[in-house]
Structure 1
């Protein structure tokens, strides 16, 4: 994975983990929300930092769920709309950064 895309992906995953940790800090189901929302991006950030090659792929797959949650929250809960839009933007950044190396490989000029 390219260094720039990897750095952006790492920062976006850490941002999502921090966002969800703060968003659900006073939730009555705190442990469940931390396990479902905060732990996955944090674990993927650690895996990416340790060099796991498929971390970008799995981050992009899970980002589709984070994106969907953000859209649903932005649409239905006015009090958390700003947090939801931040989650939407970060999840799109994760998808883009996780897919960028594959896109570069697919659309680069072929060497003869």
Structure 2
């Protein structure tokens, strides 16, 4: 997978995550707070990934761990939100995988003999 394809997949996952949160919490009485806490971070990271900023990829991976934890907690506690939580878990794991590709590739690459 090229870095361009990886960035496109990462951007799509971030966009889908922001859309998921916007749909999931659409009728919440604290909608401005939901938009600020849940929807804005993936969209800001999407902008950073689109501008090819390495820190955006790093922070997407870090925040994906929180998103994963939120999804597991929501699936465990709120059975009525199980579908949304499951999608959140899948998207967060895909974000972690996508930002980890370069490091994993470097770690397991065959070493050249001198």
Question: Fold match, TM over 0.5?
Answer: yes
Task: Name the SS for the 1:54 alignment partner.
Answer: helix
Question: 1:20-75 deviations in whole A, cap 9, x for unaligned?
Answer: 01111110111111111110011001110011112111101000110011001101
Q: Runs in 1 of length 4+ with deviation above 6 angstroms?
A: none
Backbone CA RMSD of aligned residues: 1.3
- 2:53 counterpart residue number: 52
- Relative contact order higher in (CA < 8 Å, ≥ 6 apart): 1
- Does the alignment pair 1:7 with 2:11? no
Taking structure 1 as the reference length, the TM-score comes to 0.94
Q: Deviations over 1:54-98 (max 9, x none)?
A: 211110100011001100110111111100000000000000001
Task: Give the equivalent residue in structure 2 for 1:102.
Answer: 103
**1:92 maps to which residue?**
93
| Number of matched pairs | 112
Larger radius of gyration: 2
Q: TM-score scaled by structure 2?
A: 0.92
Structure 2 unpaired stretches of 5+: none
Structure 1: gaps (5+ residues):
none
Q: Deviation of residue 110 (structure 1)?
A: 2.6
C-alpha displacement of 1:3: 2.1
Distance 1:28 1:109 in 2: 54
